[in-house]
Amino acid sequence: MAKETVSKNTFKNLPPGVCVPWEQKAKELGEIKGDPEIIKNQWEQLDAFAYMYLWWWVQR
């Protein structure tokens, strides 16, 4: 067994499909000069891909 790597979570109670919520990222981005929905949509798609990669190692 590898060394202990238990760490504190950054987020709590996130819904499935989410690693870093858009709401958090939007705060970090600050002012968005164009359509925020376009940016949000792409963020969430790639975030969901990361989620699926992580759970892929568990669901087997």
Q: Which residues bind another protein (CB under 8 A)?
A: 1-19, 48-60
Chain centre distance of CA 46: 8
State the DSSP code for 9.
-
Q: How far is the CB of 8 from another protein (least distance, A)?
A: 8
Contact 29, 43 (CB under 8 A): no
Q: Which is nearer to another protein, 7 or 28 (CB)?
A: 7
Q: How far is the CB of 16 from another protein (least distance, A)?
A: 3
- Name the 3-class secondary structure at 2: coil
Q: How far is the CB of 32 from another protein (least distance, A)?
A: 26
